[in-house]
Each structure stands twice: as C-alpha cells, then as structure tokens.
Amino acid sequence: MASFKPEDELFGQTGAGMDGGEEDVTRQYIHIRNQQRNGKKSFTLITGVPSCFNHKKIVKYLKKSLNCNGNIVEDETFGTVIQLQGDQRNDVAQFLYEEGIAEKDQIRKHM
C-alpha cells in the first residue's frame, strides 16, 4: 500500500479534536463491517471515523490504493459512513493503524 500523506489535508479545516478540542478521539471505536449484497458481491462499511479527519480525502486515497469504488453516506444512526466496494476490511484496518488515525485496540472488524 502506498504511503498516505497526512499533510495533504487529512484533517478537517480546523483540526478540532486532535488538539484537545470538542471530540475525544482516544475513546472512540472505528467499526469496519462487510455487508453481503448478492452472490459474491459485497461492500465494506466504515463507521466511527472522527469528524476531525477529512472523510473525502480518506475515501479518495482508499479508492486509489485499493482499486475499488467508494462513497460517503450520512446515516441517522451511524453518522458518517464510508462505503467501499468489495471486502476491504483487512486493508482498511491496516491503513487506519499505519496512518495514525486509530490504534489497533480502537479498530473493530465485524463480519
């Protein structure tokens, strides 16, 4: 996987939350789920990514590095949800850890 550059506006406009702002990033879990569509088709859902990160930049990088399509959906119960085509759970978990977005104990992979 190619290296992601956090200086390329990974953080939102203010970067709130990382400097002791509104959001406590250290206690939040990021959930990665695989949802079956039909036959062998599925998609990966990522929820719980703190709002201080630029979701559009994360999706853009993941789409390019994993060679899949993806988008961002606003859900009433889960908030901002990142959707990627295919079963990308392991690659997404590795990306989140390597780029410092979450610690290993904050990442929850579900079936």
Q: CATH number, domain at 72? A: 3.30.780.10
* Type of residue numbered 35: Q
Domain range enclosing 59: 27-109
> According to the model, what pLDDT value does residue 2 have?
54
Is 70 part of any domain? yes
Q: Is 62 exposed, middle or buried (0-12, 13-18, 19+ CB in 10 A)?
A: buried
**Higher model confidence: residue 16 or residue 81?**
81
Is 84 part of any domain? yes
Is 94 part of any domain? yes
Read off the pLDDT band of 28 (50, 70, 90): confident
DSSP secondary structure of 50-106: -TTB-HHHHHHHHHHHHT--EEEEEETTTEEEEEEES--HHHHHHHHHHTTSS-GGG
Cα–Cα distance, 53 to 55 (Å, whole number): 6
**Measured CA distances, 53 to 5, 35, 56, 77 (Å):** 13, 24, 9, 19
Is 15 part of any domain? no
**Higher model confidence: residue 23 or residue 110?**
110
Q: What is the pTM of this model?
A: 0.75
Cα–Cα distance, 93 to 6 (Å, whole number): 17
Q: What is the pLDDT of residues 40-96, one digit of tens each?
A: 899 999 999 999 999 999 999 999 999 999 999 999 999 999 999 999 999 999 999
Read off the pLDDT band of 101 (50, 70, 90): very high
**Higher model confidence: residue 28 or residue 25?**
28
Is 20 part of any domain? no
Cα–Cα distance, 20 to 108 (Å, whole number): 24
Is 64 part of any domain? yes
Is 77 part of any domain? yes
Is 1 part of any domain? no
Domain total in the chain: 1
